[in-house]
């Protein structure tokens, strides 16, 4: 999934090595953590996403590392315009590493949106070009921030689950 916000746990590989684990101790709790955290970010991202036809909102997806002990999760939009909305384009781009650095839209690309909103594509195109771009709508970054209390709780649950499993060994 391109243009996603990635979450990675620093030091996880060292913990795995110390735990002499093949996935039985850490794998399930960490997979649950990443899944719950991803669902929380997805939920808030969907709440904050702008809606025209709903493609952006409904297309926020996530993926969790398939390794025995997952080390990452990716959460973000599948819609091709997702990064451009999140990071802005043109003079308003806030994207790291070029995310959002897309050419300004053409009249043809604006036709459907303009028609649904009772305007002409040329009029919208002219406004965007005169402004120098489109401002970002931070739906995923704000969704991640809003999910932090949930994620903190999921991390605590994960640590408790690992501790409980460790004691069984």
Task: Give the separation between CA 151 and CA 42, rounded to whole angstroms.
Answer: 12
3-state secondary structure of 164: helix
Q: Give the tens place of pLDDT for each residue, 2-47.
A: 566 677 778 777 666 666 556 677 888 999 999 999 999 999 999 9
Where do the structural domains in the chain lie, given as residue ranges?
Answer: 1-88+136-169, 89-134
Q: Give the tens place of pLDDT for each residue, 67-93.
A: 988 999 999 999 988 988 999 998 899
Q: Give the tens place of pLDDT for each residue, 92-127.
A: 998 877 666 778 889 999 999 999 999 999 999 999
């Amino acid at each position: 999934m391109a243009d996603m916000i990635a979450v990675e746990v620093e030091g996880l590989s060292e913990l795995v090595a110390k735990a002499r684990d093949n996935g039985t101790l850490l794998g399930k709790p960490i997979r649950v953590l990443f899944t719950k955290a991803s669902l929380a970010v997805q939920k808030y991202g969907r709440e904050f996403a702008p809606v025209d036809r709903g493609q952006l909102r409904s297309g926020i997806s996530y993926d969790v590392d398939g390794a025995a002990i997952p080390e990452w999760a990716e959460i973000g939009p599948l819609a091709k315009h997702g990064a451009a909305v999140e990071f802005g384009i043109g003079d308003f781009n806030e994207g790291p590493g070029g995310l959002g650095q897309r050419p300004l839209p053409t009249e043809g690309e604006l036709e459907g949106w303009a028609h649904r909103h009772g305007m002409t594509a040329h009029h919208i195109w002219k406004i965007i070009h005169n402004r120098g771009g489109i401002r970002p709508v931070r739906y995923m970054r704000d969704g991640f921030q809003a999910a932090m209390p949930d994620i903190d709780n999921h991390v605590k649950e994960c640590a408790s689950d690992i501790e409980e499993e460790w004691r069984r060994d």
